[in-house]
Amino acid sequence: MESEQDETQLATFGAGCFWCVEAVLQQLDGVLEVGSGFMGGQTENPTYREVCRGETGHAEVVHVRFDADRISYEELLNWFWRLHDPTTLNRQGNDVGTQYRSAIFYHSDEQRKAAEKSKAAVEASGAFADPVVTEIAAASTFYEAEDYHRDYYRQNREQSYCRAVISPKLAKLGLET
């Protein structure tokens, strides 16, 4: 019999503001934990302010721990493509900068292959008029964002960014606002 830890896996995605991505993915059955942070840059232990100033090379990402028996990595990839525009380079809506790039950071060769296959399928589907610019790269060190970023939407639903950006995204995706 496998333990719960054996059944859990990690996925890491960059799809714009990590508050938005966290608010979507934490609602999915089989997602056990979503943490906001940074990956893909050269600075050790970056702060949110450093990342926002474009000084670190990091992307805002979510680190997703999931139960692979309840939700597959491929299903997470399907949500990844739906929750952002993977054709805009270093931008999601009004959020502009390299930290908002579309990225899949894989944790195994199986994830790399699944990500490449999924990206090719999205490109071939014609779902987007413009080319997909999503980066697929090996996961590197995950740096957790400061405490106030954790569970941001649930803690700050009345904040203007949450009302103007996150709530409409959740409604569009048929999730709880």
Kindly report, residue by residue over 125-153, the tens digit of the pLDDT: 999 999 999 999 999 999 999 999 999 99
Domain count, the chain: 1
Q: Which residues are catalytic?
A: 17
Structural domain includes residue 81: yes
Domain range enclosing 61: 4-172
How far, in Å, CA of 177 to CA of 127, rounded?
25
- Model pLDDT for residues 53-86, shown as the tens digit of each residue: 998 999 999 999 999 999 999 999 999 999 999 9
Structural domain includes residue 87: yes
Q: Residue 170 above 50 pLDDT? A: yes
pLDDT band (50, 70, 90) for residue 7:
confident
Q: Residue 6 above 80 pLDDT? A: no
| CATH number for the domain harbouring residue 98 | 3.30.1060.10
How far, in Å, CA of 59 to CA of 103, rounded?
8
Structural domain includes residue 177: no
Q: Tell whether the torsion through CA atoms of 145, 60, 135 and 112 is positive or negative.
A: positive
Whole-number percent of the chain with pLDDT over 90: 94
Q: What's the average model confidence in pLDDT over 105-113?
A: 98
